[in-house]
Amino acid sequence: MHPKLEKVLQETDHRNPGEPEFLQALTEVLISLDPIIERHPEYADYGLLERLTEPERQIIFRVPWVDDHGEVQVNRGYRVEFNSALGPYKGGLRFHKSVNRNIIKFLGFEQIFKNALTNQGIGGGKGGSDFDPHGKSDNEVMLFCQSFMTELYRHIGDKTDVPAGDIGVGGREIGYLFGQYKRLTGVHEAGVLTGKGLGWGGSLVRTEATGYGQVMFARFMAEDRGESLEGRTCAVSGSGNVAIYAIEKAQQLGAKPVTCSDSNGWVYDKDGIDLDLLKEIKEHRRGRVSDYAAQRPSAEFHDSGRVWAVPVDVALPAATQNEIDANDARTLVKNGCKYVVEGANMPSTPEAIDIFQAAPGVSYAPGKAANAGGVGTSAFEMEQNASRSRWSFEYAEERLEAMMRDIHTDCLATAEDYGKPGDYVYGANITGFRRVADAMLAHGVI
């Protein structure tokens, strides 16, 4: 590693104790930057690397709310506005019991480069709370969202910071958050949040975008090797928004997804996932994948083990960070998996990534490239809000596909240019870094 990169990594490690996911994300990026710093030493000047690895602003706040039993509950809220060199901060809000500053910083740092890859003029940020919406009534979720936004609203705006949804934050939560923002500010600022309802500023394809984009990226990877996804079996983790629409797009392209999962276990369906049944259970009943298995004779429910034990051609992790470890990676490679395409953020551990990249015949794409369709389509929603227009589903999907193709092309071209042909990790990190770094240099030391 270049001495300057090593120095920044050591200093960041010292300044951020107890934040393993943040340091994991940062280490992966810095290791990839060695070739570009050697070729362009100016990127190591003016404290650029030090500024890039330190958030511009970190906001932590108390979120008090009253549950249905009249008891006061207190959660903690976060918003990390990491880098605005390319545009307003953009990144989701995550409501989950695992949320802490470390998780939000890792997600915000990843978001910088993911957003840069979209070429949509958006910076990187992330936010959320350790509030868990599972098992809460609509009234409790509404009261929490209103309290959360009562603090957050002063830090966001369509030209400043534009949050969206993430784990635990769907259309219901975005609606409550938007309503409270409107109530507090007295303005209908449609572009302040994305993932909105279609009747009040939302965009067609936004719901599908992350999962669709993930599978589109997998398709482009296959085409680059003279192959296709048709007839391929796929392992999909998760059963939320990303997983459901990755399954849908894979089926549209002739592939056969055979797994899904949630926090209680996972399902293997030898006949292929019944998408209508899965949607009914997860999107309407807010049920569990065990309910799916109970209604589907061809499905098996497992409360232990992992979906990655199933022999498949394509792995589509779409749940959460570090869900594929070294053992899972070895199992996938041994069973003949050819493509690992990430829909979640950093779902593979560093050891797992090393195994994938060392395995002959395996193509691996990191989340910052393969799952950029969600935030890219959020930027399309902002564009429609600004012009008071609405795109058709077909046009929005065409724009998504074109953007994912451009990301794929840019990653491969950059990897080739910097002596790492076919390496999507180097291609994504260097492409995203170069765009952000050029803007930071142009803006001066701020």
CA–CA dist 228, 346 (Å, integer): 25
Q: How many CB atoms lie within 10 A of CB 56?
A: 17
Closest of 301, 185, 310, 164 to residue 235, by C-alpha? 310
Whether 342 contacts 370, CB under 8 Å: yes
DSSP states along 266-319: EEEETT---HHHHHIIIIIS---HHHHHHH-TTEEEESSS-GGGS--SEEE--S
Q: What spatial distance separates the first Cα and last Cα of the chain, rounded to whole Å?
A: 27
Q: Where are the alpha helices (DSSP H) in 388-444?
A: 393-417, 424-443
Q: How far is Cα 403 from Cα 376, in angstroms, rounded to an integer?
A: 8
Q: What three-state secondary structure class fits 93?
A: strand
Helix (H) or strand (E) holding 65: strand 57-66
Q: DSSP assignment, residue 64?
A: E
Which of 272, 261, 416 minimizes the C-alpha distance to 324?
261
On whether the CB atoms of residues 54 and 16 are closer than 8 A, the answer is no
Look at the alpha carbons of 179, 180, 183, 187 in this order and tell me if their dihedral is positive or negative: negative
Residue type for position 209:
A
Among this protein's residues, is 159 annotated catalytic? no
4, 90, 105, 126: which is the annotated catalytic residue?
A: 126
Q: Which residues are catalytic?
A: 126
